[in-house]
Structure 1
Amino acid sequence: MANTTVWLVVGLIIGLVIGVAIGYAVMPPKVITKTVTVTKYVNVTTPVTTTTTVSTAPFAVGAAGTLKFAFTDILNVMQSMYPGITIAPAMFKGSGEVAHTEATTQQFSVVASADTTTIPSVLFPNYTNYEIAFGITQMVIIVNLNTTAGQEVYQLWKQAQSYPPMSAQYNETWQEIWQIIALNSSTVVGVSNPFTDPSGYQAQCVVKLAGLAFFNNASYLYDAIYGNPSKYMMRNTEIDLLTLMASGQVDFILSAYESNAIPQTQTYHNTVFITLPPFINLGNLSYVNYYHQVSVTWTENGVTKTFACNPVVYTITIPFQAPNKQAAEYFLLLLYSPIGQKILEENGIQPIMPGIVYGNYSAVPNAIKPFVAPLSQYPQYASIFPSQG
């Protein structure tokens, strides 16, 4: 990561470009504004002073917990570029919890989810009417190397990397891996709640796809884990599961994305993450039809929901009642800037460019439209979004 000075200089350069792009944007109604003078640098030696109108309303982000690391970096750049914007503490929780908080409080200027269904199901049509798919990550498994089972799985995984995909040795090795994770009575897995966080049902999708791919039975591994309450420990969001692993309560975390596994395994001693084959990791748009061979159903407190197994796509929206819509546009422009795209990649998120807009494309701010396109231009991806019928 570049040092603070370099980030600031580069950020100021990008800030000038963004300022020109949106300098004529219409301010949202009913927002108190003030005018401040900001000095931006075209290069190290030539300062250029511009006048930028900045809203005094606080700017708060509500986002999936696994976006914490990437979005915090982007917010830091944004703060250095626009010191006149008051950036309120962000909420990084399960996507469902974030969306329901927005529906209750209307406190966020930006809402982002780790799937394509949460924002439409919770916030359409009263709180927003579009979402932008801006990145994709993959499911991984975080492994506790302090346990014998964790060490065995990690060694087997390293062996699997040397075999041709779908060869007999490859398949047999993955069968051994899943037998230790799912069928060994002494191992415990950590998962998140499907009702509060997409990684909960996405982990279930991975388990079903692994059963289908390696045991020719989608229910085989799933029933072994989720049919046995002593086999798993569940929390509301995947970012809460590392504390269970650190205390030795779980051997494997199934509700994990590469986007959170990269920084978390650097922080937590003796943990690693293993990647999964593309046909089960929900991280490859080329396998959408294969992923759709399975779905998952979960019941909690008398409520039953069925979830489609889609790629792990991050989406974002600016709600109707965003307290600071102007700052929200700045944030999205930063997200699509070279700096923002690099930050996503460094955090295990592959940018989707142009972003794919589901819902009302005309509601997308004009400043953002050069970086996005309506879903109608990408009909091959229509099946990963909710039906518009």
Structure 2
Amino acid sequence: MVALTLGCTTSEPKTISVFHAGSLAQPFQAVEKNFETANKNVDVQLEAAGSVDTIRKVTELGKQADVIGSADYRLIPQMMYPDYADWYIVFATNEIVLCYTDKSKYADEINADNWYEILQKPDVLWAFGSPNIDPCGYRTVMTIKLADLAYNKPVFDNLLAAHTAITIKEENGVYMITTPEALNPDTKYVTIRDKSEDLVSMTIAGGIDYAFEYRSVAEQNKLKYVELPLSINLKDVRYESTYAKVKVTISNGTTQTAAPIAYGITVPKNAPNKDLGIKYVEQVINENGQKIFRDMGQPPTVPALGSGNIPEQLKKYVEMID
């Protein structure tokens, strides 16, 4: 009888938690399938939020995660070092675009030369993610200020200063933007949501006309989009010095410098299932993971770039940057 009982025993399935940026939702779902195929008795639980909130769940709210995926790798050392992480890997890029549908007002007129004029029209409602929670949000603010410099027009004043509590001042050729906790958008003109991805359904439903998003989110959701100039879309390393003229201080007091978009991933020091977390990261950065990101309009960084105390089994995939 004892032998029979032992023979019927199966190991309990393990669950791992992956906290991640909203713009990683679809590629991480595909990675989850690969991971669960390779690790039969493991269930991956994905939890999306803005990247700042994603990290705060671990560092301030006491939640435990086995993987953290951030839309801005810089938040990992900024918010998690030294107590909660001591390494990160840069694994993908993106760019800022302006999304719309055929139902959006002036959809047949908007282009890369006039988008900021269309957004200023009194009958147009546009939107972006909260810069205090979502990197796509503070990157949108950066893009709008960079548009000032690219077009030599008061784009920032007309779109943001006139309709929100976001402020700006210039110091020695650098533009210092502050996004207070109370953003106070004038909702007749502009809508702000905690996650930029929340705006996708609003755009599709016609509740808003235009939304700033990552290109990958636009492509994954089959939205039309205006491709913005390289000097403002935070895509191109050749414009790094131009981007760096804009800085945004968000409500938690940290200052973000405009820079080419780069996603980061790590396993927290207090992860309950560190080995499985590392295996999940491996599925993100190996050739299968690279293909997933490439197919979803989110170019992978190849080789991935590593900083800090990179786990041994991931070293073959990364080029160290420190």
> Scaled by the length of structure 2, what TM-score is found?
0.83
Counterpart for residue 129 of structure 2: 192
Tell me: CA distance 1:343–1:55, structure 2 relative to 1, closer, same or farther (3 Å): farther
Work out the CA distance in 2 between the residues paired with 1:341 and 1:143.
28
Work out the CA distance in 1 between the residues paired with 2:121 and 2:321.
44
Work out the CA distance in 2 between the residues paired with 1:247 and 1:203.
22
Query: Secondary structure of the residue that 1:134 maps to in structure 2?
Result: strand
Counterpart for residue 178 of structure 1: 116
Query: Secondary structure of the residue that 2:103 maps to in structure 1?
Result: coil
Map Cα deviations across residues 62-121 of structure 1 (whole Å, 9 max, x no partner): 11000011111011111112112232x211110011101122234211101011332222
**2:214 aligned residue (246, 257, 264):** 257
Work out the CA distance in 1 between the residues paired with 2:127 and 2:227.
17
Structure 1 counterpart of 2:58, one-letter code: E
Q: For the Cα contact (< 8 Å) 1:102–1:108, is it kept in 2?
A: yes
Q: For the Cα contact (< 8 Å) 1:192–1:238, is it kept in 2?
A: yes
Tell me: CA distance 1:327–1:93, structure 2 relative to 1, closer, same or farther (3 Å): same
Aligned residues: 287
Counterpart for residue 173 of structure 2: none
Query: Secondary structure of the residue that 1:286 maps to in structure 2?
Result: helix
Work out the CA distance in 2 between the residues paired with 1:297 and 1:188.
26
Aligned ranges for residues 85-164 of structure 1 at < 5 Å? 85-87=42-44, 89-103=45-59, 104-153=61-110, 156-157=111-112
Counterpart for residue 17 of structure 2: 60
Work out the CA distance in 2 between the residues paired with 1:130 and 1:367.
14
The two structures, once aligned, show a CA RMSD in angstroms of 2.0
Structure 2 counterpart of 1:102, one-letter code: V
**2:203 aligned residue (226, 241, 245):** 245
Q: For the Cα contact (< 8 Å) 2:104–2:208, is it kept in 1?
A: no
Counterpart for residue 326 of structure 1: 275
How big is the shift at 1:57? 4.3
Query: Secondary structure of the residue that 1:151 maps to in structure 2?
Result: coil
How big is the shift at 1:209? 1.2
> Scaled by the length of structure 1, what TM-score is found?
0.69
Query: Secondary structure of the residue that 1:355 maps to in structure 2?
Result: strand
How big is the shift at 1:195? 0.9
Q: For the Cα contact (< 8 Å) 2:96–2:233, is it kept in 1?
A: yes
Work out the CA distance in 2 between the residues paired with 1:187 and 1:306.
31
Structure 2 counterpart of 1:205, one-letter code: M
- Of structures 1 and 2, the one with the larger relative CO (CA 8 A, separation 6+) is 2
Query: Secondary structure of the residue that 1:131 maps to in structure 2?
Result: strand
Tell me: CA distance 1:145–1:112, structure 2 relative to 1, closer, same or farther (3 Å): same
Q: For the Cα contact (< 8 Å) 2:14–2:41, is it kept in 1?
A: no
In structure 1, stretches of 5+ residues that fail to align are: 1-53, 158-173, 266-270, 377-389
How big is the shift at 1:305? 5.1
Percent of aligned pairs with the same residue?
A: 25
**1:275 aligned residue (227, 244, 248):** 227
How big is the shift at 1:353? 2.2
In structure 2, stretches of 5+ residues that fail to align are: 1-10, 164-184
Q: For the Cα contact (< 8 Å) 1:190–1:234, is it kept in 2?
A: yes
Work out the CA distance in 1 between the residues paired with 2:317 and 2:297.
21
Matched, 1:288 2:240: yes
Work out the CA distance in 2 between the residues paired with 1:297 and 1:62.
24
Work out the CA distance in 1 between the residues paired with 2:143 and 2:284.
29
Query: Secondary structure of the residue that 2:199 maps to in structure 1?
Result: helix
**1:355 aligned residue (298, 304, 308):** 304
Structure 2 counterpart of 1:180, one-letter code: I
Work out the CA distance in 1 between the residues paired with 2:139 and 2:302.
23
Matched, 1:232 2:190: yes
Structure 2 counterpart of 1:232, one-letter code: V
Q: For the Cα contact (< 8 Å) 2:285–2:317, is it kept in 1?
A: yes
Work out the CA distance in 2 between the residues paired with 1:113 and 1:332.
12
Work out the CA distance in 2 between the residues paired with 1:304 and 1:107.
24
Work out the CA distance in 2 between the residues paired with 1:221 and 1:305.
25
- Choose 1 or 2 for highest CA Rg: 1
Counterpart for residue 380 of structure 1: none
**1:222 aligned residue (135, 156, 165):** 156
**1:73 aligned residue (30, 34, 39):** 30
Aligned ranges for residues 35-46 of structure 1 at < 5 Å? none
Structure 1 counterpart of 2:18, one-letter code: V
Work out the CA distance in 2 between the residues paired with 1:55 and 1:238.
37
Counterpart for residue 33 of structure 1: none
How big is the shift at 1:56? 5.6
Work out the CA distance in 2 between the residues paired with 1:316 and 1:334.
12
